[in-house]
A and B are shown apart, each in its own frame.
Chain A
Amino acid sequence: MTLALLSYALYEALVAAPTEQTMGDVQRIFYYHVPSAWTAFLLFLINFVASVYYLIRRSDRADIIALVSAEVGVVFCTVVLVTGPIWARPVWGIWWTWDVRLTTTLVLWLIYVAYLMLRRFSSGSQTPLVAAVLAVFGALDVPLVYFSIWYFRTQHPSPVIGKGGSLDPRMAHVLLINWAAFLCFAFLVCWSRYRLERVRRDVEETQALEALLEPRSVS
């Protein structure tokens, strides 16, 4: 079903959606950029909720959900950060600008990459707790990042941004379909990653148990 929705969304985005007047076909990247951004933000929100839940209840499942949503969220966030400049180059004439949204997304990406690195580097049973604590810090940081950069940039206004105006309803339609497709895809990836992580943990647990039992059986 996800596949069907994704291919339908692709068709809609590339063929059916009306071509934008001033920007031309480049604008079609919008149908990937925006849904990815929404999906990534949603996943980071899930990560935050799961982390808080873990801190309160110490549930193993919440920890896996937090891990999985951070991983997939970083992937979608990367898509946003890559497609953005591809669009910006022909439209704004530059690859990157230190605009508030761009910078906030970049900082968000940095925070969650740090989160994943922490999970990589920390050892054993402390990983979930330490990671959950960092997730809480990261989530609280996001509004502060936004305000600080907003202030920073109103001091030095950048010349390029021009958003606003209304969206053609047909475009909105395509956008929503793409978002639905991306959500399904994200959900699918998360779900399989969740299963994989569970199996991995089960295997590790069994191996640890076997290692404990082994010397006893030899002697």
Chain B
Amino acid sequence: MSATSITRATLFKDLRLEWRSKDAINAMTFFSLLVVVIFSFSFNPTAEESRLIAGGLVWVAFLFAAVVALNQTWARELRNQVLDAYRVSPAPAEALFLAKALGNFLFVTVLEIVMTPLFVVFYRLRPLGTGWQLIPVAVLGTWALVVNGTFFAAMSIRTRSREIMLPLLLFPISIPALIAMVEGTTVILTGDASPRPLIVLLAVYDVVFTTVSLILFEKVLHAE
């Protein structure tokens, strides 16, 4: 089997699992809904203010929600020793990692598609800049979170108290991506400046960390 077909097989397996259980999606959506409601109670912003804070709000909600899905990525494979089976199988580790990262990417994207209208309604958002530029920011930003998150989730299942370990590793490393996402969104919403340099920064971040993850994942998978 080629690496592509392994990636596809693993990805479809995960999607089917998720489609039947809907664990990750339900937990993430409800979690971010709670964040939206609680934030709007705590700040009670006007339309002008919410334009300034919404970028940060949306991404913090998505980041926290994504951790829920990311934690399950590998923990699910620990039951029935599936992870050990991966380890002894001759399938390339990169293909497995890519499948997992793509799966998480799809989950978080679905979450974003579901939640964005709610954000718009609750916070009365209307972008003053060019709205379609939110799409590259969202896609690159989501990939940045997910690629590192999938990698660190694989690392944190090797620790005690793994549920706590993932955010502890992910958040410090994601700071540049988070800044670029939040700033990019805010700039588009307020229409103050061009988000182009931020999109470039996100792209660089994605390229760097995708490469490193693909190179180092094999070592983490086979760590003993």
Whether the pair B209, A137 counts as a contact (CB closer than 8 A) is yes
Task: Choose among A110, A126, A140 the residue that contacts B172 (Cβ–Cβ < 8 A).
Answer: A110
Whether the pair B172, A111 counts as a contact (CB closer than 8 A) is yes
Chain B residue at minimum C-beta to C-beta distance from A151? B197
Query: Which residues on B sit within 8 Å (CB–CB) of A130?
Result: 155, 158-159, 220, 223
A91 within 8 A of B: no
Whether the pair A144, B204 counts as a contact (CB closer than 8 A) is yes
Task: Choose among B148, B158, B201, B223 the residue that contacts A148 (Cβ–Cβ < 8 A).
Answer: B201
Task: Choose among B158, B177, B212 the residue that contacts A136 (Cβ–Cβ < 8 A).
Answer: B212
Whether the pair A126, B204 counts as a contact (CB closer than 8 A) is no
Whether the pair B219, A149 counts as a contact (CB closer than 8 A) is no
Task: Choose among A126, A134, A138 the residue that contacts B223 (Cβ–Cβ < 8 A).
Answer: A126
Whether the pair B204, A140 counts as a contact (CB closer than 8 A) is no
Whether the pair A129, B183 counts as a contact (CB closer than 8 A) is no
How many of B's residues come within 8 Å of A, CB to CB?
A: 34
Query: Which residues on B sit within 8 Å (CB–CB) of A126?
Result: 158, 223-224
B169 within 8 A of A: yes
B92 within 8 A of A: no
Chain B residue at minimum C-beta to C-beta distance from A125? B224
Q: How far is the CA of A155 from the CA of B193 in the complex (A)?
A: 9
Stretch of A116-124, A166-174, A185-193, A197-205 that contacts chain B: A116-124
Q: How far is the CA of A107 from the CA of B151 in the complex (A)?
A: 20
Whether the pair A137, B173 counts as a contact (CB closer than 8 A) is yes
Chain A residue at minimum C-beta to C-beta distance from B213? A137
Query: Which residues on B sit within 8 Å (CB–CB) of A147?
Result: 176, 201
Taking the closest CB of chain A, its distance from the CB of B72, in whole angstroms, is 19
B78 within 8 A of A: no
B108 within 8 A of A: no
Query: Which residues on A sit within 8 Å (CB–CB) of B168?
Result: 114, 117-118
User: Which of B's residues lie within 8 Å of A, judged by CB?
Assistant: 148, 151, 155, 158-161, 165, 168-169, 171-173, 175-177, 179-180, 183, 187, 193, 197-198, 201, 204-205, 208-209, 212, 216, 219-220, 223-224
Interface CB pairs A-B, < 8 A, 25: A110-B175, A117-B168, A118-B155, A118-B169, A121-B160, A122-B158, A122-B159, A122-B160, A123-B160, A125-B224, A126-B223, A126-B224, A130-B158, A134-B169, A140-B209, A141-B176, A144-B177, A145-B176, A147-B176, A148-B177, A149-B176, A149-B179, A151-B198, A151-B201, A155-B183
6 new A-B pairs (CB below 8 Å) besides A122-B158, A144-B204?
Answer: A129-B223, A133-B219, A144-B205, A145-B175, A148-B201, A152-B183
User: Which of A's residues lie within 8 Å of B, judged by CB?
Assistant: 55, 107, 110-111, 113-114, 117-118, 121-123, 125-126, 129-130, 133-134, 136-138, 140-141, 144-145, 147-149, 151-152, 155
